[in-house]
């Protein structure tokens, strides 16, 4: 059995874990202290050597991304932390910032120092007001303790952090849409290249990293590259959050080496709820093709999950038992992508509209056999043709669910309705046919 490795979450259970004093009493800011004595290039090299890959979904090597910034030209360079966490299933960054905002602030100080940035931003989704409070307070505390402002700790390094609240739009998690939003515009993706490293915020060199990526930097600096690289697999190193939700006994955040399996994680979570068995699950949020019990022993690292036909994504395991209708689940995700499509490109804007329409009638038992093929054809005209990854993502749950559960789609057609009892899937008891009772 793989051991869990709580690193970022280690202090979450402490009294007032979000305070500077609590954080500092448990080794907080030791990494930043060390980093400020290091050569900038050595910090970037350490992050490269650690093997840390972006924790926001795409898994791009973090140190390499920092290395893409052009040589300093005297103008500003920016660090933007992506705290938009809105992928269905993803729920790790929000508890991190709630319980230990200083982990993120310390990671930002080290990163900003390494890349030569004196103004950094946290773009946090606007729908979590208490997280925003904790972040603002942490910034104020860091300033009071000499970690932000001018001439930090007498090193001549200056840094300001602005915490910026979004206003409700999943697409703003896409890094270039995020930058447009941070510039006060509609959050729509930009054409790449140029990549943000070259022309990002205000067209200046910019590093955009996920909350967990940045929070992983202090332990790498404090405990060393070898310590980090000793966890995980050859190409997927270190620890990461695995967020379990749904029909398991103890849903929650499980910080473990990459390469752990869903079977191990579900066992740690107490197993499936009593008397039920696993039906399907997402390895990395709703944007990653679903898996079934066939994939319980697939190592949850980038390579193995990819080879098995999905993506590691944000390691968000939404777990459903046999009471769940897969058509209903996918219909709702499809609604989400339609709702969140930014409208910039035709395949996604129009395609998600049609996908939702077809999924709706299939789930309602008003679809035809031809609709199932129409779904796949429509997915085909979106995937690979959309302007950003949201379009592809919209097709992932549909294509994978038809692959594994085609007969369930067929049953909706032949039985003229959904064969499942919704009440059986819920976590509380209720009368499943109240509409009829009222009629």
Partner 1 sequence: MTYDESTAKQLSKDAAEIIGRYPVRRSALLPLLHLVQSVDGYVSPDGVQFCADQLELSSAEVSAVATFYTQYKRRPNGEYQVGVCTNTLCAVMGGDEIWRQLSERVGAGHDETTPDGKISLERIECNAACDYAPVMMINWEFFDNMTPETALQLVDDILAGKDLVPTRGADRVVSFKETSRVLAGFEDGRADEGVSAGAPSLAGIETAKQQGWKGQDK
Ligand X SMILES: Cc1cc2nc3c(=O)[nH]c(=O)nc-3n(C[C@H](O)[C@H](O)[C@H](O)COP(=O)(O)O)c2cc1C
Contacting residues toward ligand SF4, per CB under 6 A: 171, 189, 341-345, 348-349, 386-388, 390-391
Q: Would you say 44 or 283 has its CB closer to partner 1?
A: 283
Q: Would you say 50 or 82 has its CB closer to ligand X?
A: 82
Question: Which of ligand SF4, ligand X, partner 1, none does residue 55 bind (CB under 5 to 8 Å by kind)?
Answer: ligand X
CA dist., res. 301 & res. 258, Å (int): 5
Residue 180 sits in the site that holds ligand X (CB under 6 A): no
Q: Which of 97, 128, 208, 221 binds ligand X (CB under 6 A)?
A: 208
The residues with which 318 forms a beta bridge, in sequence order, are: 245, 282
CA dist., res. 113 & res. 176, Å (int): 23
Of 140, 138, 146, 312, residue with least CA distance to 215: 138
Tokens read off for 41: 């290039």
Residue 210 sits in the site that holds ligand X (CB under 6 A): yes
Q: Are 58 and 46 in contact (CB under 8 A)?
A: no
Question: Which of ligand SF4, ligand X, partner 1, none does residue 165 bind (CB under 5 to 8 Å by kind)?
Answer: partner 1
Question: Which of ligand SF4, ligand X, partner 1, none does residue 173 bind (CB under 5 to 8 Å by kind)?
Answer: ligand X
DSSP state of 88: T
Q: Would you say 256 or 386 has its CB closer to ligand SF4?
A: 386
Q: Are 326 and 408 in contact (CB under 8 A)?
A: yes
Q: Tell me the closest approach of the beta carbon of residue 193 to ligand SF4, in angstroms.
A: 16
Q: Would you say 8 or 36 has its CB closer to partner 1?
A: 8
Contacts of 426 (CB under 8 A, 6+ apart): none
Helix (H) or strand (E) holding 397: helix 389-414
Of 255, 216, 257, 212, residue with least CA distance to 233: 257
Contact range with ligand X by CB under 6 A, out of 24-32, 56-64, 239-247, 303-311: 56-64
Residue 240 sits in the site that holds ligand X (CB under 6 A): no
CA dist., res. 39 & res. 228, Å (int): 20
Residue 174 sits in the site that holds ligand X (CB under 6 A): yes
Q: Tell me the closest approach of the beta carbon of residue 280 to ligand X, in angstroms.
A: 22
Q: Would you say 5 or 210 has its CB closer to ligand X?
A: 210
Q: Which of 28, 51, 57, 219 binds ligand X (CB under 6 A)?
A: 57
Residue with tokens 């200083």: 102
Q: Would you say 189 or 218 has its CB closer to ligand SF4?
A: 189
Q: Are 36 and 155 in contact (CB under 8 A)?
A: yes
Largest CA distance in the chain: 75
Q: Are 26 and 219 in contact (CB under 8 A)?
A: no
Question: Which of partner 1, ligand X, ligand SF4, none does residue 256 bind (CB under 5 to 8 Å by kind)?
Answer: partner 1
Question: Which of ligand X, ligand SF4, partner 1, none does residue 387 bind (CB under 5 to 8 Å by kind)?
Answer: ligand SF4
Question: Which of partner 1, ligand SF4, ligand X, none does residue 208 bind (CB under 5 to 8 Å by kind)?
Answer: ligand X
Question: What string of DSSP letters covers 134-175?
Answer: HHHHHHHHHHHTTSSBSSGGGSS--BEEEEEE--S-GGGGSH
Q: Are 100 and 12 in contact (CB under 8 A)?
A: yes
Q: Would you say 19 or 210 has its CB closer to ligand X?
A: 210
| Interaction site with ligand X (CB under 6 A) | 54-58, 60, 62, 82, 84-87, 170-171, 173-175, 208-210, 213, 388-390
């Amino acid at each position: 059995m793989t051991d869990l490795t709580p690193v970022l979450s280690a202090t979450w259970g402490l009294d007032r874990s979000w305070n500077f004093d609590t954080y500092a009493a448990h080794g907080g800011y030791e990494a930043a202290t060390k980093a400020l004595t290091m050569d900038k290039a050595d910090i970037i090299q350490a992050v490269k050597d650690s093997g840390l890959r972006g924790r926001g979904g795409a898994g791009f090597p973090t140190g390499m991304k920092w290395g893409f910034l052009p040589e300093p030209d005297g103008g500003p360079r920016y660090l933007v932390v992506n705290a938009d966490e809105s992928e269905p299933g993803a729920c790790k960054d929000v508890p991190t910032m709630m319980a230990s905002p200083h982990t993120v602030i310390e990671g930002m100080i080290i990163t900003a120092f390494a890349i030569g940035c004196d103004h950094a931003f946290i773009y946090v989704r606007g729908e979590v007001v208490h997280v925003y409070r904790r972040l603002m307070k942490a910034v104020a505390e860091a300033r009071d303790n000499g970690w932000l402002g001018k001439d930090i700790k007498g090193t001549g390094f200056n840094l300001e952090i602005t915490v910026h609240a979004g206003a409700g739009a999943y697409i703003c998690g896409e890094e270039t849409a995020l930058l447009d939003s941070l510039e006060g515009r509609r959050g729509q993706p930009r054409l790449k290249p140029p990549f943000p490293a070259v022309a990002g915020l205000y067209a200046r060199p910019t590093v955009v990293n996920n909350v967990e990526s940045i929070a992983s930097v202090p332990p790498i600096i404090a405990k060393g590259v070898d310590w980090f690289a000793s966890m995980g697999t050859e190409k997927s190193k270190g620890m990461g959050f695995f967020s379990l939700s749904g029909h398991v006994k103890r849903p929650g955040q499980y910080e473990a080496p990459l390469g752990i399996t869903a079977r191990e994680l579900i066992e740690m979570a107490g197993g499936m709820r009593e008397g039920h068995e696993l039906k399907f699950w997402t390895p990395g949020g709703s944007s990653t093709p679903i898996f079934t019990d066939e994939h319980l022993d697939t190592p949850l690292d980038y390579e193995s999950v990819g080879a098995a036909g999905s993506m590691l994504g944000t390691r968000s395991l939404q777990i459903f038992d046999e009471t769940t209708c897969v058509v209903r689940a996918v219909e709702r995700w499809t609604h989400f992508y339609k709702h969140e499509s930014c409208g910039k490109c035709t395949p996604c804007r129009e395609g998600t509209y049609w996908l939702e329409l077809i999924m709706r009638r299939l789930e309602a038992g008003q679809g035809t056999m031809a609709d199932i093929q129409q779904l796949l054809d429509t997915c085909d005209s979106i995937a690979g043709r959309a302007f950003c990854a949201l379009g592809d993502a919209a097709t992932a749950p549909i294509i994978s669910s038809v692959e594994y559960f085609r007969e369930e789609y067929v049953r909706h057609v032949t039985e003229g309705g959904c064969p499942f009892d919704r009440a059986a899937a819920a976590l509380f008891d209720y009368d499943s046919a109240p509409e009829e009772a009222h009629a």
